[in-house]
């Protein structure tokens, strides 16, 4: 059953665990969020987004004066034995594969603000609707919705769950997996002999195996040389890679998966059709930040805002992604200091330098009058 089709009464919105085999695809391969990770393209897209987001610094600011403050406990150790980067990584993987993040609120700071959230595999959660309301179950046991942490990506009107990219693009992912299986089977069970050996002499059985037996050996996958008659001339047999259409299919499939996740194809080793120079590499990085990362950062910031007091908000520091060469950075810092929208401690933090001692004299700005 397609998980987000218009539902009737008492129809499950989410299937539980591996009991759901995934939608059948045109290629004949059933695709689930877990099996999709066997695709190198899917794995690369998920890894790049999850790694990049989880390693960005997350700061907490006050609403009134935009002053940075210490983060609460929920943003230091949001789950037992899990620090914030790992917790954010789990968020991104759930978003990218299943379109939903699910967790159990284990502790609270006051009546409404969670302070510890144990994330769970969304496949363990079942949501059902009926005229009497919506019922949430974890591993088949009903659970209070107020005890659940739920964030969704790609929300649709009238639906409580977000869209799963893997389930909606199951045909694309399934094609990639099927092509990989075909390629592996081609080399494992190849029926083309490695070459032909011919002779103008009649060979006895002692001199060569029976051609029929030799053909069976060639079909066994060991690609032995086939001896089909008389002769000593050897002719190798091979298939040109460009004649194997599955190679082009694999290349196109990688590009399609990169489009699904809005990843520049070059970042996952796909051919974008453009030659890369310093200029367009810089443009690509800005495009990656704007169109690939920023939507995910916005979702996570809105989620993290529920873990801090109301008068505070969270924001990722993306400066690390835009880090230029040393001279360009120092010139940008000088402009910020001169204009007054940057302070020396902020500059030192951006450069990963320790704070100056309280008695230290701030260095004179470039161009300042002695």
Tokens of 84: 């914030």
* Report field, pTM of the whole predicted structure over 0.85: no
Which pLDDT band holds residue 132 (cuts at 50, 70, 90)? confident
Tokens of 10: 């008492």
**Residue 119: pLDDT over 60:** yes
Residue among 126, 127, 129 nearest 139 (CA)? 126
Q: To which H or E segment does residue 166 belong?
A: helix 165-168
Write the pLDDT tens digit of every residue in 28-49: 888 999 999 999 999 999 999 9
pLDDT at position 233:
65
Q: How far apart are the first and last CA of the chain?
A: 76
**Residue 203: pLDDT over 80:** no
Flag the least confident range among 89-93, 202-206, 221-225, 334-338.
Answer: 221-225
CA-CA distance, 28 to 178, in Å (whole number)?
8
Flag the least confident range among 77-86, 249-258, 268-277.
Answer: 268-277
Q: What is the DSSP letter of 106?
A: E
CA-CA distance, 278 to 288, in Å (whole number)?
15
Mean pLDDT calculated for residue range 145-154 = 94
Mean pLDDT calculated for residue range 119-131 = 91
Flag the least confident range among 108-112, 184-188, 237-241.
Answer: 237-241
Mean pLDDT calculated for residue range 234-248 = 61
Residue spans per domain, the chain: 1-192+245-322, 193-238, 324-370
Which pLDDT band holds residue 370 (cuts at 50, 70, 90)? very low
pLDDT at position 107:
94
Residue bearing the bigger pLDDT, 230 or 57 = 57
Out of 25-29, 114-118, 251-255, the most confident range is 114-118
pLDDT at position 208:
59
Flag the least confident range among 60-64, 255-259, 321-325.
Answer: 321-325
CA-CA distance, 215 to 209, in Å (whole number)?
10
Q: What is the CA radius of gyration of the chain?
A: 29
Mean confidence (pLDDT) of the chain: 79
Write the pLDDT tens digit of every residue in 7-26: 333 334 444 344 445 667 88
Write the pLDDT tens digit of every residue in 291-330: 999 999 999 999 999 999 999 999 998 876 766 567 777 8
Residue bearing the bigger pLDDT, 194 or 188 = 188
Write the pLDDT tens digit of every residue in 274-288: 655 555 666 777 888
């Amino acid at each position: 059953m397609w998980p987000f089709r218009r539902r009737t009464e008492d129809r499950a919105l989410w299937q539980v665990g591996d009991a759901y085999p995934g939608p059948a695809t045109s290629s004949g391969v059933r695709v689930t969020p877990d099996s999709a990770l066997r695709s190198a393209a899917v794995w690369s897209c998920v890894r790049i987004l999850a790694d990049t987001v989880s390693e960005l610094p997350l700061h907490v600011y006050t609403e009134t004066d935009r002053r940075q403050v210490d983060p609460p406990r929920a943003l230091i150790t949001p789950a037992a034995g899990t620090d914030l980067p790992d917790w954010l990584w789990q968020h991104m993987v759930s978003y990218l594969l299943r379109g939903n993040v699910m967790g159990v609120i284990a502790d609270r700071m006051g009546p409404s603000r969670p302070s510890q959230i144990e994330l769970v595999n969304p496949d363990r959660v079942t949501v059902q609707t009926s005229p009497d309301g919506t019922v949430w179950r974890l591993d088949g046991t009903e659970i209070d919705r107020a005890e659940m942490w739920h964030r969704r990506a790609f929300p649709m009107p009238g639906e409580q769950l977000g869209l799963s990219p893997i389930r909606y693009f199951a045909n694309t992912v399934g094609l990639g997996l099927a092509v990989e299986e075909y390629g592996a089977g081609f080399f494992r069970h190849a029926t083309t002999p490695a070459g032909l050996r011919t002779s103008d002499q009649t060979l006895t059985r002692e001199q060569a195996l029976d051609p029929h037996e030799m053909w069976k050996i060639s079909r066994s996958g060991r690609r032995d040389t086939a001896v089909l008659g008389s002769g000593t001339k050897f002719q190798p047999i091979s298939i040109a890679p460009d004649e194997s259409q599955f190679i082009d299919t694999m290349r196109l499939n990688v590009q399609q998966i990169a489009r699904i996740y809005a990843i520049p194809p070059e970042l996952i080793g796909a051919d974008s059709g453009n030659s890369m120079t310093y200029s367009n590499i810089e443009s690509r990085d800005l495009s990656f930040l704007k169109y690939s990362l920023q939507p995910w950062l916005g979702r996570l910031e809105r989620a993290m805002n529920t873990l801090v007091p109301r008068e505070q908000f969270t924001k990722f520091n993306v400066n690390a992604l835009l880090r230029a060469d040393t001279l360009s950075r120092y010139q940008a810092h000088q402009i910020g200091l001169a204009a007054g929208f940057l302070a020396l401690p902020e500059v030192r933090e951006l450069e990963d330098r320790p704070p100056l001692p309280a008695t230290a004299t701030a260095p004179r700005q470039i161009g300042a009058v002695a």
